[in-house]
A and B are shown apart, each in its own frame.
Chain A
Amino acid sequence: SQTIHQWPATLVQPVGSPLSLECTVEGTSNPNLYWYRQAAGRGLQLLFYSVGIGQISSEVPQNLSASRPQDRQFILSSKKLLLSDSGFYLCAWSDRRSYTFGSGTRLTVV
């Protein structure tokens, strides 16, 4: 069966520090991968998606970047965090019919 792992669950980082959130998928190949962010009390905003290794599309201009070094690995990064980067980050994978979400990372930038 397919599973998705996302870590860490919570993270508190100072402004200006780097960020790396990792997401891995098991039990499937060539999935579409997605990073979403949910600001406090807001909806889910699509940040990045990837349809294959090394293929990254950004939905909104921001302080973040994404990479897909392996078929089932999706990484969200930042060189210098801003206060506005705080939020709940969700990774997801799709076989283009169904979507499975990770358990999320709650990031607080202080």
Chain B
Amino acid sequence: AQKVTQAQTEISVVEKEDVTLDCVYETRDTTYYLFWYKQPPSGELVFLIRRNSFDEQNEISGRYSWNFQKSTSSFNFTITASQVVDSAVYFCALSESVSGSSNTGKLIFGQGTTLQVKP
């Protein structure tokens, strides 16, 4: 069965610190997508990144970077020089294989990591 584990329930940092949010996943699919979403206090889910299982290149977008390690089934998210506006719940998610006979495309979420950035 597919599973996403975000072992860090809550993280608190001081502004300008770097912080890494961990994500470990389990799947038997050979083709899948990994996602990170941000959920601010208002509740909506803000899409941050999607990574195809075949693409292990790390990605950087401004202060955000992602480290995909297929060998350890991890997809960690780092925020550099954190800011108060980064305070939110962050979710890592795994989609079912979208190839072959599977057509459900279910998105399985981790339990989320609450990040608090203090001024």
Contacts and interface: CB of A to CB of B under 8 A. Distances in A.
Interface residues of B, number: 20
Contact of B111 (A42, A97, A104): A42
Contacts of B106: 34, 46, 49, 59
A90 B108 CA distance: 14
Interface in A13-53: 32, 34, 36, 42-46, 49, 51
Contacts of B104: 32, 49, 51, 57
Contact of A90 (B45, B47, B110): B45
A100 B111 CA distance: 19
A12 B2 CA distance: 34
A99 to B, nearest CB: 6
A46 B108 contact: yes
Contacts of A97: 33, 50, 98
Given A32-B105, A34-B107, A46-B107, A99 B35 contact: yes
Interface in B58-109: 91, 95, 98, 103-109
Chain A interface, DSSP helix/strand/loop, else mixed: strand
Assign chain A's interface to a size class. Answer: 20 to 34
B110 A43 contact: yes
B62 to A, nearest CB: 20
A43 B91 CA distance: 8
Contact of B43 (A88, A98, A99): A88
Given A43-B110, A43-B112, A97-B98, A104 B103 contact: no
B4 to A, nearest CB: 9
Contacts of B107: 34, 46, 92, 94, 99
Interface of A: 32, 34, 36, 42-46, 49, 51, 57, 59, 88, 90, 92, 94, 96-101, 103-104, 106
